[in-house]
Chains A and B, each alone.
Chain A
Amino acid sequence: SQQGEEDPQALSIQEGENATMNCSYKTSINNLQWYRQNSGRGLVHLILIRSNEREKHSGRLRVTLDTSKKSSSLLITASRAADTASYFCATGEGGGADGLTFGKGTHLIIQP
């Protein structure tokens, strides 16, 4: 199964700064999704980018996708303490009908 791998594994920044995390995957995809997980909770979907899209925005989130490099990045602008969480990218060949494959995540800490 294909698997996304996030980089870095951990990131600590000051509140107000921008946070960038990257995801690489191995095979062709239908779409790529980003999820957030707060401590002790389930994952929450943030944004989905389709394979024919290069960039997508949602509030303070910006996602890019480069299918030639098999990579994606998630940018969180003007970070807040509440953004402290783990972030996962996920891919699925069939768009998720047979389950998504998740990376190991980037743990983001926003220092006040």
Chain B
Amino acid sequence: DAGITQSPRYKITETGRQVTLMCHQTWSHSYMFWYRQDLGHGLRLIYYSAAADITDKGEVPDGYVVSRSKTENFPLTLESATRSQTSVYFCASSPRFTPLHFGNGTRLTVT
């Protein structure tokens, strides 16, 4: 089915561990984005990518790493998870200058 898929849906990890959140889209959209959603802050942009092998920082990139070796995949890695990274993470994609298509999110808890 066409769409944008995030995995896992839920993840619990310990402080200091590395964790990778996956995002896969089937539309071949050029642009992909990672947001985090926290109460009181709304959605904040972590990283975005305009095409394969092109990534750029958003508003809150510290502690996160992204890669985009293929157009359809945009994984987000927390190199050493901290409790402040407990959040709901959303991946989105779009062709340029059009609305974003969001996945259903990954709820990450760092203990």
Chain A interface (Cβ < 8 Å from any Cβ of B): 1, 30, 33, 35, 40-45, 48, 88, 90, 94-105
Contact = CB atoms under 8 A, between A and B. Distances in A.
Contacts, number: 62
B56 to A, nearest CB: 7
Contact of B59 (A1, A42, A44, A90): A1
Chain B binding surface, main DSSP class: strand
Contacts of B59: 1, 101
A105 B101 CA distance: 18
Interface string B79-108: 000000000001010101111111111000
B102 A97 contact: no
A96 B56 contact: no
A43 B102 contact: yes
Interface residues of B, number: 27
Question: Which 6 A/B pairs are nearest by Cβ-Cβ distance?
Answer: A42-B102, A45-B99, A104-B42, A95-B97, A102-B43, A99-B45
Contacts of A98: 48, 56
Contacts of B92: 42-43
Nearest to A33: B99
B33 interface: yes
B75 interface: no
Contacts of A42: 90, 92, 102-105
Contacts of A41: 104-105
20 contacts: A1-B45, A35-B100, A40-B104, A42-B92, A42-B103, A42-B104, A43-B43, A88-B42, A95-B96, A95-B97, A96-B94, A96-B98, A97-B96, A99-B45, A99-B48, A102-B42, A102-B44, A104-B40, A104-B41, A105-B42
